[in-house]
A and B are shown apart, each in its own frame.
Chain A
């Protein structure tokens, strides 16, 4: 029996916790794990901000002159759209990360452990939320550099950021379903774009809906991305806020409530 103690660790007793505390603890352990991954590859984080910065420069200095925006300068109109676009593209990271975990067999290992079945998804989406916070700080700085100004107050600006992070967090759960259904991480990314593009570009993120053809206008005006962008504009530039902020919150919470259980269900069947 001496050989046995050579291999196995000395026994340790698990800490008894309530089911909820256990699930939260598991999610935090995996959040930490994912954040370590982001920290170890800072290039990935850096280059994921390059694209939104290019968009800022492109629309601010190339297309912007041709786009008329009533009541505000184009840069003030543009930046809320860029913010929302950025957090949404960040949410694609959720699908890529999960597809990688699935492909490398990590999800199989996690599923063979007696842990909460929400933990892997909660850990990934939370890590991507934290990542989005960093990206938002960076893009805000770029925005201020190219002339974007908040015409309300700091609190309203922070509320706008919070709203966008919540919206992106809800979308992350949706993208996790794509990640768990894709054959590999490259495909997960490709599969995310057909969903992302119409939502981001057939919206009021970059141009007013008034310039769009009549068949597209109703969608562009009412789809959730436009609602959130308009809410952010109201919060940063002034004007009636409740009209947009309330539906934006409803959309975000509604999506979260629907997508979370769907994603967990998909996770239970993944592999």
Chain B
């Protein structure tokens, strides 16, 4: 599969995106990026995972040339984001965190405008717009001002606008935040089709589930630094496949249950309010053990839930704090 684009892909290296020690500060105090390095191999998806304020958008802005880094270097499609910004721009498509479509223009006009700004002939810009509208299920709404679109339609139009020149590298900043499950699934399968066609994708997300489904590799960022990196299964193996939530009548009982379990459990159980949270690493026998121990201590739980670990669990595990970085920063000030 050859990727056709306006910028000829450079042969150098297997990486479509390389970031080395990126630093970006705002107003001297906020270190939005504090030495971030990672690489994305051609034709793969990297999930940049992190809570609010982690620095995801800032990283995307540096890599898409809209923000200059204070320190560090980055190359996209083989081109330097500072020194060869124009070539980088020819190689990338960007769908930012907030769907950037002109609300007064119709869907068709939005896509045509992007085509013309990419110097396609009027005819080609029109044709590409029509094809994209068709493929993104927007044909029916094509001639309505985009301010009448639903969140999901707007997001699809935004991603379509990033694909007009068939960029080999695509940046998607929280592509499914605020979408209902149906629209989310539509966007997911869209991304999968793109990747199947050879596009390299960097997507940011706050959802472990999303990174899990789409990303070949995951980079977890927190407060401007990379705190973990690997495939979804590597990250989960560190954490346990499943989380067991046990609910008790009151916080005191929950504390006591956590203390009782601590001796029998590899990872420390955490009690929060009336809930005790356990990482299950070795299947049903472990769950049975927990219940038996609690029964013997006369501490039968009222509720029990088995679930996939969430981003919150990953964070708790990796950093010892939950994912409210923005509020925490706010408090610290």
Which of A's residues lie within 8 Å of B, judged by CB?
1, 3-15, 17, 22, 25-26, 29-30, 33, 36-37, 40-41, 104-106, 108-115, 119, 271
Interchain CA distance A7-B190 in the complex, whole Å:
7
Is B109 a contact partner of A36 (Cβ separation < 8 A)? yes
Most buried by B among A5, A109, A115: A109
Instruction: Evaluate contact between B196 and A1: CB separation under 8 angstroms.
Output: yes
Q: Is B280 an interface residue (CB 8 A)?
A: no
Question: Does B4 make an interface contact (CB < 8 A)?
Answer: yes
The CB with the most chain B CB atoms within 10 A, among A4, A17, A36, A40, is that of A4
B71 at the interface (CB under 8 A from A): no
**15 CB-based A-B contacts, threshold 8 Å:** A1-B197, A3-B192, A7-B194, A9-B132, A9-B135, A15-B121, A25-B119, A37-B104, A37-B105, A40-B104, A106-B100, A109-B161, A111-B66, A114-B89, A115-B117
Let me know if A105 and B96 touch, CB within 8 A: yes
Task: Kindly provide the distance from the CB of A17 to the nearest chain B CB, expressed in whole angstroms.
Answer: 6
Instruction: Say yes or no: B164 contacts A9, CB within 8 Å.
Output: yes
Q: Are B193 and A9 in contact (CB under 8 A)?
A: no
> Given the known A-B contacts A7-B193, A29-B113, are A271 and B94 also in contact in the complex, defined by CB atoms under 8 Å?
no
Are B96 and A33 in touch, CB under 8 angstroms?
A: no
| Proximity string of chain B (268-308) to chain A, C-beta cutoff 8 Å, 1 when within and 0 when not | 00000000000000000000000000000000000000000
A4 to chain B: which residues have CB within 8 Å?
Answer: 1, 193-194, 196-198
Q: Is B324 an interface residue (CB 8 A)?
A: no
Compute how far the CA of A106 lies from the CA of B131 in the bound complex, rounded to whole angstroms.
22
Determine if B6 is an interface residue (Cβ-Cβ < 8 Å): yes
- Which of A13, A36, A271 contacts B66, CB < 8 Å? A271
Q: Given A105-B97, A105-B98, A110-B117, are A5 and B64 also a contact pair (CB < 8 Å)? A: no
Beta-carbon nearest neighbor of B164 in chain A: A9
Distance of A22 Cα from B65 Cα, bound (Å): 20
* Cα–Cα distance between A229 and B117 once the two chains are bound (Å): 39
B150-182 vs A, Cβ < 8 Å mask (1 yes, 0 no)? 000000000001011110000000000000000
Contacts of A5 in B (CB 8 A): 197
- Interchain CB contact under 8 A, A106 and B102: yes
A12 x B120 contact (CB < 8 A): yes
Interface residues of B in 187-232 (CB under 8 A from A): 190, 192-194, 196-199
A108 to B92, CA, bound (A): 13
CB distance from B251 to the nearest CB of A (A): 43
Q: Is the CB of B89 within 8 A of A112?
A: yes
Q: Which residues of chain A are near B125, meaning CB under 8 Å? A: 12
| Contacts A4-B197, A7-B163, A112-B89; A15 near B113 (Cβ below 8 A) | no
What residue of chain B has the Cβ atom nearest to residue A39's Cβ? B104
Identify B114's interface contact among A104, A105, A113, CB under 8 A.
A113
Contact present for B94 and A7 (CB under 8 Å): no
B118 within 8 A of A: yes
- Pick the residue among A1, A6, A37 that contacts B1 (CB under 8 A): A1
Contacts A5-B197, A110-B117 known; 9 new A-B pairs at CB < 8 A: A9-B135, A12-B120, A12-B128, A13-B120, A29-B116, A33-B113, A36-B105, A40-B104, A271-B61
Which residues of chain A come closer than 8 Å to B128, judged between CB atoms? Answer: 9-10, 12
Task: Decide if B90 is an interface residue (CB 8 Å cutoff).
Answer: yes
Q: How far is the CA of A6 from the CA of B97 in the complex (A)?
A: 25
Give, as a whole number of angstroms, the nearest-CB distance from B193 to chain A. Answer: 4
A181 to B113, CA, bound (A): 25
**Which A-chain residue is minimally distant from B132 (CB atoms)?**
A9
Decide if B135 touches A7 in the complex (CB within 8 Å).
yes
Residues of B within 8 A of A10 (CB): 127-128, 131
CB of A270, distance to nearest CB on chain B (Å):
9
Asked whether B252 is an interface residue with its Cβ less than 8 Å from the other chain, the reply is: no
Contacts of A15 in B (CB 8 A): 119-121
| Residues of chain B lying within 8 A (CB to CB) of residue A271 | 61, 66-67
B76-95 near A? 1/0 per residue, CB < 8 Å: 00000000001001101010
Given A8-B197, A11-B166, A104-B98, A40–B67 Cβ distance below 8 Å? no
Return chain B residues, CB-CB under 8 Å to A41: 104
Q: Is B100 touching A109 in the complex (CB atoms < 8 A)?
A: yes
Contact check, B86 vs A114: say whether CB atoms are below 8 A apart: yes
Report the separation of the CA atoms of residues A4 and B189 in the bound assembly, to the nearest whole angstrom.
Answer: 11
Q: Are B132 and A111 in contact (CB under 8 A)?
A: no
B145 interface residue per 8 A CB criterion = yes
Q: B107-141, CB under 8 A of A: which get 1 and which 0?
A: 00100011111111100110110011001000000
